[in-house]
Amino acid sequence: MDRILESWRWVVGATDRGTRLDHYVASKEVGPTRSQLKRLIERGFVLVDGEEARPAKKLQPGQAVELGLPPPEPLSAEPEDIPLDVRFEDDWLVVVNKPQGLVVHPAPGHPRGTLVNGLLFGRTAAGGDPLRPGIVHRLDKDTSGLMVVAKREDVHADLARQFHDRTVERCYRVLVVGRPPAGGEWRTLHGRRPGDRKLFSSKVERGKPAHSEFELVEQLGSAAMLEVRLKTGRTHQVRVHCKDHGFGVLGDPWYGPGRGLPPALREIHDRLDGQALHAGLLGFRHPATGEPLRFEAEPPAAFLAALAALRAL
């Protein structure tokens, strides 16, 4: 095992019975993000009673959990042969359908195996931060869906202007708990959650404006599928707006429904390895040709399986 810079040890209490290992370690707020901690678990830096374990392992009272934090890995954006679902590509840009679980660009805890690494294999990407060349917008690791990436600096600048001017069409499908209205909009402030700087909230006194429009696609008993259109692009915006308006996102460890779910819903929630959130529609003007482009992608298998399970309740 690599050299350890810092280490922690906890004993699981009665109130954490059944908690996933990655959720338990993340709740300790030792520094790394949830995605970084999950990768540390996968690399064997988190032990349960002295043994390596999966991120989804359910803990029991009395078990000892140990975390060893290794030195940060050097960051680079090197080409890697990673299969990608490319929906459109020309000399100026590429549109890709990002799978759930894939990090967009290299970062501490994820120096390799990212979308950027895969995009650089056999093609160029340019503009913006050298560690995330061509990236104009991003999706969270566990959010799936459509992204556009620039191949040239001038294309990156043009796309960035379109996002800034809010002319890009972005639409998400999301599975939530509750009974939302038929449609409407959410206009809020958006800022760091008081008491937890890694998360965001609309219940803040100061922050940036956040605007989402939503429509109820299907009521699924005590759950629902929503279509949410972004008018602004704040970090975690869909997840925050749903959660703060009483509709926790299924599968989401941070903005999910919390405790008290009926057993059947709890099973569906726990079975999801990340939020049931999919960026299924992306539309923008081609920076070189001026042509309007619009792409759609179906949700991934895990999302569709959860949807089918909800319909069967």
Give the pLDDT confidence of 75-108 residue by residue, as tens digits.
568 889 999 999 999 999 999 999 999 999 887 6
Task: Note the pLDDT of residue 72.
Answer: 65
Q: Residue 226 — φ and ψ, nearest 5°?
A: -110, 150
CATH number of the domain located at residue range(s) 6-69 in this protein:
3.10.290.10
Domains 73-165 and 171-280+303-312 share a fold: yes
CATH 1.10.10.10 fits 171-280+303-312, yes or no: no
Going by their DSSP bridges, the two strands 277-285 and 144-150 should be labelled as parallel
Going by their DSSP bridges, the two strands 64-69 and 6-11 should be labelled as antiparallel
Domain ranges of the chain: 6-69, 73-165, 171-280+303-312
d(CA 58, CA 17): 8
Judge whether residue 225 has pLDDT over 70: yes
Q: What is the pTM of this model?
A: 0.76
Contact at 8 Å (CB) between 225 and 174? yes
> Architecture of domain 73-165 in CATH?
2-Layer Sandwich (3.30)
Which residues carry out catalysis? 140
